[in-house]
Amino acid sequence: MSQLALPLRLADHAVFSSFFSAGNEALVATLSALADGTSDAGCWLWGPPSTGKTHLLQAVCDRAGDESVYVPLAQFADADPQLLDGLASRNLVCIDDLGLVAGDADWEHALFVLCNQILDADGRLVVTAAAPPRASKILLADLRSRLSRLPIFQLQALGENERAAALQLRARHRGLDLPNETARYLLTRSRRDMTSLYSLLDKLDDEALRAQRRLTIPFVKSVMQEL
């Protein structure tokens, strides 16, 4: 019995409808098909930090429901690789941050066994990492070769205007109105990576709810000064 038999908690915001897909439309369509069970190819998704890899992987699991399992290796890299045992019983296995265990012989062997089990069972495998398979630090040649057969997608980072639009989409998903001028203010007054921007939006949401205020520039400025 897998130690991951109980589902891990997914972030409430990590759904397809809250992901700004500009430049990544083909990838989102592929992941949606995988989650819906209308595609069985699986995929390897790579890109730099703060581009949405974890968001998309959790969105796949949210859409697929109980037939899927989400494995965040950022939480389990120091655990026993035996926690992967039995995961191939799920129709869809999603492994986040595979690069964190690349080079660890025990983890690589366990992942190779899991990959074979998934393919033998006609299951689907989705993997995220910071680099494509052949540029990863995987030492086990058979594992690297097997993973290289997956369709490979590079997640494209958002441009300036797209970051503002993505921030507004996340705000609407939370039931917030983020005016254009406030979104631009945030982009020029805070760290520009999406992880930091989304974290700041979460804090602004909490403060706006507490103070019963709209996200105007003066209100946002006062909150940021306090932070």
pLDDT averaged over consecutive 10-residue blocks of the chain (227 residues)? 48 86 94 91 91 94 93 93 94 96 97 94 95 94 95 92 93 92 93 88 92 94 88
Q: What is the pLDDT of residue 2?
A: 42
* Count of all residues that appear for the chain in the document: 227
Q: Which backbone phi and psi does 128 adopt, to 5 degrees? A: -115, 150
Which position has the token pair 């992967």? 84
Which position has the token pair 């949606």? 32
Prediction pTM value: 0.88
Q: What is the pLDDT of residue 12?
A: 67
Q: What is the pLDDT of residue 135?
A: 93
Which position has the token pair 């690069």? 99
Q: What is the pLDDT of residue 40?
A: 81
